[in-house]
Amino acid sequence: MDLWFTEKHTDNVKLSIKVDRQVYSAQSEFQRIDIFDSLEFGRFLTLDGYMMLTEKDEFIYHEMIVHVPMAILPQVNKVLVIGGGDGGAVRELVRYPEIQQIDLVEIDAQVIEACKKYLPQTAAKLDDPRVTIHEADGLKFVRSKKDEYDLIIVDSTDPFGPGEGLFTKEFYGNCFKALTETGAMVNQHESPFYPVDAIAMQRAHKRIVDSFPISRVYQAHIPTYPSGHWLFGFASKHYHPLQDFDAQKWKARNLKTRYYNDKIHVGAFALPNYVKLLLEEME
Amino acid sequence: MNLSQERAPVLEALNRYKAMRVVPFDVPGHKRGKGNRELTDFLGEKCLTVDVNSMKPLDNLCHPVSVIKEAEELAAEAFGAKHAFFMVNGTTSAVQSMVMSACKRGEKIIMPRNVHRSAINALILSGAIPIYVNPGVNHELGISLGMSVADVKQAILENPDAKAVLINNPTYYGICSNLKAITELAHQHNMLVLVDEAHGTHFYFGEGLPASAMSVGADMAAVSMHKSGGSLTQSSLLLVNGLSEGYVRQIINLTQTTSGSYLLISSLDISRRNLALRGRAIFEKVAQMAEYARAEINQIGGYYAYGRELINGDSIYDFDRTKLSVLTRDIGLAGIEVYDILRDEYDIQIEFGDIGNILAYLSIGDRIMDLERLVSALSEIKRRYAKDRTGMLSQEYIRPEVILAPQEAFYAASESTRLEDSLGRICGEFVMCYPPGIPILAPGEKVTAKVLEYIQYAKEKGCFLTGTQDSHVNAIQTVKE
Ligand SMILES: Cc1ncc(COP(=O)(O)O)c(C=O)c1O
């Protein structure tokens, strides 16, 4: 049998992964959810046909979206995760004992259920007592919050479909308001490589720059995302991602990670010239 | 004939016609799009293959005898009218046809002054004389309301020779007069009742919505299917109860094109079917979205998204709960400023902003997630831009001083006069903000200090002023003295 999952990365480029079997498929109120088993990437989750995570490479994304801000901010007690129903970001967050409260806001409860059942690798820590799950629209949830969170992680899907609202200026502005005076926001920032993604990336950057005094972009290599070259945004009211990065303190925690380390932290903020140009155009 | 509302005669005829693969040696010259590649690429081949001319299998809008006739009959049935005309030149032409069917030159028509320009245009065309009833005003919101029954009664008693009463149902902001009482009153005095329902299509298909013109026995109604009804821009309906169909058609044909667009005609047919079959569920959903947005916006504080609590039994006899109008003045911003910020900074386009309010138009095409964006953006605008509200002009109803009939003033010898020199002169043209397109000055009205102050303020705040020969609205035409 020759069964393949294919995602179009552009009109002219496709990525195909050989599928061993389909594990789950459902149409929720918001999107189509599928989970497959593959030989190369293990189990993987797609939403509306777009790759969200694979067991093989999800550690890169989740480590980079969590450990980078956690190594910069000196004291994080309360965290808001928007999106991220797969639980990967939460899994990394619960490793920090000083975090007292994690609010996870996911619009699609069915994603959480499916991941709890079929993707324990990422979802296992969603039951941690510090975690509260809110089934809500992220944009609506942050609207009423003020001066509340030390860190907001925007683990969104792409800027079309249910994740649309999480790439808007009103959303970033609402996040600014929801953060404490020294808080910071990290977001999934799309890719600089293919033009369509690059435009979305530039738009997001422009809106974040307009909303936050400090805004820096960092990168990681994620094999199953379009072009493999992926960006994250670090937007902050007070702390600078490199000047306030305390490598010794982070190393002293002795957290075992597979991708992130103190040298990667610094290196990830060093961007290729073409990416710097795309970002500067927006600043 | 007894076709069911599931049918769509024009749509069916166009599909049959396409299947016949007729060779066109008639207009339009683009020949099903083959003669204009760029246009076809842009609009799509499907669209251009039905951009066709009137012909026997497809009937003729100016004199319908087959499929358009059937489609109009279905529309009449769906809206509870004796007859429905498909209109392809906007609700403007429907309003004008109503007025011109009811009044000849020199005859009087009673109307509120906060009508759309199309109604006053009709007076210029027909030579009818307006008897204005001052609409009520809500001073907090700064908006004109409906007409009170007592005011209409007074106008009727003072002008027993008037031929008709024209009523907005509802106003742009969703406010309704007591349509039933006014209709009965006018009929007692042998006057026709003409209703501008540009914003009231959904009244015919919803639960818990204000009364529609046909349901209270009004004689004619102009219904913007292209607004809440979902048809293509420029398509509209003229509903008739009390007048002769043949006479009204002659009036329509005075100004209507002889090349009615089948894109527009079929969109009316398809939208009528959709409304008849699914309208109730559709507008219930829209009303719920509007109620939700109202509650969320009112939670932000500083904004007032108003609703049915405004109802006062007279000048606000009813309120259309699918409307989302918001008073912004208390955060120190004019509605037009919020309107501009929403578009320029948040990529959100709303229907309009005036001096004190914004109006977001909701329809079946909206999603709750988009409403979340609107509400969040309003919350952000308050956080980032709110300022003290002192010095803000409240929008007042300015009582017009009518010196000449609109037609007389429009055709009188006039001269271009700088605004600052125009005080006390008689205006020869329109001045209005668009939208909403309600004239600040109409031909024949005196230019007063209040009007000039209002125009100046609207300009400063960035309202889009139109109507004058001078495109910058620095000068207006005034009647030569
Ligand atoms: C109250 C009212 N009447 C009539 C019209 C004219 O409609 P149309 O633009 O379809 O000609 C409008 C349009 O905005 C309107 O608001």
Domain that holds residue A10: 3-53
Q: What is the domain count for chain B?
A: 3
B82 with B201, same domain: the answer is yes
Residue of A155, A197, A246, A262 with catalytic role: A155
Alpha carbon distance, N-terminus to C-terminus of chain B: 60
Shortest Cα distance, chain A CAs vs residue B345, angstroms = 8
Q: pLDDT category, B391, cuts 50, 70, 90? A: confident
Between CA B223 and CA B456 the distance in angstroms is 33
Domain that holds residue B349: 279-385
Evaluate if residue B92 carries a pLDDT over 80: yes
In chain B, pLDDT over 90 holds for what percent of residues? 83
- For the four alpha carbons of B35, B38, B41 and B43, in that order, the dihedral sign comes to negative
Q: Determine contact, residues B218/B179, Cβ cutoff 8 Å.
A: yes
- B437 in contact with ligand 1, CB cutoff 6 A: yes
A46 with A163, same domain: the answer is no
A77 with A32, same domain: the answer is no
A262 with A237, same domain: the answer is yes
Mean pLDDT of B3-14: 96
Q: Determine contact, residues A96/A76, Cβ cutoff 8 Å.
A: yes
A245 with A271, same domain: the answer is yes
Mean pLDDT of A144-172: 92
Please answer yes or no on whether A168 and B375 come within 8 Å at the CB atom: no
Residue B220 Cα distances to B38, B84, B234, B245, B247, angstroms: 42, 10, 19, 11, 13
Evaluate if residue B272 carries a pLDDT over 60: yes
Q: Which two tokens stand for residue B378?
A: 């309003």
Tens digit of each residue's pLDDT (9 = 90 or more) over A170-200: 999 999 999 999 999 999 999 999 999 999 9
Mean pLDDT of B243-255: 95
Domain boundary among B258, B293, B320: B258
Within B163-261, residue ranges assigned H as helices are: 179-188, 245-255
Asked if residue B198 belongs to a domain, the reply is yes
Between CA A5 and CA A15 the distance in angstroms is 8
A136-150, B104-118, B391-405, range with the lowest pLDDT: B391-405
User: Binding site for spermidine, residues of A?
Assistant: 62, 86, 155-158
B253 with B300, same domain: the answer is no
Distance from chain centroid for Cα B289: 22
This model of the complex carries an ipTM of 0.88
Q: pLDDT category, B288, cuts 50, 70, 90? A: very high
Q: What is the domain count for chain A?
A: 2
Domain boundary among B385, B415, B430: B385
Reply yes or no on whether A127 is catalytic: no
Domain containing B235 — which CATH number? 3.40.640.10
Please answer yes or no on whether A170 and B346 come within 8 Å at the CB atom: yes
Mutate which of B89, B95, B232, B238 to test ligand 1's pocket (most atoms within 8 Å of Cβ)?
B95
Mean pLDDT of B278-295: 95
B167 with B245, same domain: the answer is yes
Of all helices (H) and strands (E), which one includes residue B300? helix B262-300
Evaluate if residue B394 carries a pLDDT over 80: no
Domain containing B429 — which CATH number? 3.90.105.10
Between CA B26 and CA A219 the distance in angstroms is 61
Q: Residue-wise over A183-199: b if at least 16 C-beta within 10 A, else e?
A: bbbbbbbbbbbbeebbe
Cα of B179 to ligand 1 centre, how many Å? 19
Distance from chain centroid for Cα B95: 9
Cα of B225 to ligand 1 centre, how many Å? 11
Q: Which two tokens stand for residue A88?
A: 């990967």
Q: Determine contact, residues A30/A108, Cβ cutoff 8 Å.
A: yes
Using CB atoms, pick whichever of B346, B347, B375 lies closest to residue A143.
B375
A46 with A138, same domain: the answer is no
Phi and psi angles of residue B114, each rounded to the nearest 5 degrees, phi first: -85, 50
Q: What residues contact B138, with CB distance under 8 A and at least 6 apart? A: B145, B310, B316
Tens digit of each residue's pLDDT (9 = 90 or more) over B161-172: 999 999 999 999
B218 with B70, same domain: the answer is yes
Task: Scan residues 151-170 of A and list those with Cβ closer than 8 Å to B.
Answer: 162, 164-165, 168-170
What is this structure's pTM?
0.89
A127 with A172, same domain: the answer is yes
- B91 in contact with ligand 1, CB cutoff 6 A: yes
Domain boundary among B195, B229, B258: B258
Count CB atoms within 10 A of the CB of residue A283.
Answer: 9
A182 with A138, same domain: the answer is yes
Q: Is A121 on the interface with B (CB under 8 A)?
A: no
